[in-house]
Amino acid sequence: MMELNPILMKGKIVEVNDTAIKVDVQGRLGVICVPLRWVFTEKRLELGQQVEFYFSYMRTI
């Protein structure tokens, strides 16, 4: 079985609402939307902020 290793990705916040943020992933890899409970920060979230997150490939089981 192949081992999955998360990699550090970067992106820019393109939308913020009451429940989630939308991030444009650097390198033209698309857009990811995540709930606010997944965002760990003490800063106020604003459009254009740079973010970092760990991402891994998905594997079917």
**What is the 8-class DSSP label of residue 59?**
-
**What pLDDT, on the 0 to 100 scale, is given for residue 10?**
96
Where along the chain do its domains lie? 8-55
Distance CA 2, CA 17 (A): 37
What is the model's pLDDT at position 22?
A: 98
Per-residue pLDDT 10s for the chain (61 aa) are 677 789 999 999 999 999 999 999 998 889 999 999 999 999 999 999 999 999 888 778 8
Query: What's phi and psi for 55, nearest 5 deg?
Result: -135, 145
Overall CATH class of domain 8-55:
mainly beta
Q: pTM here?
A: 0.82
**What is the per-residue pLDDT for 2?**
73
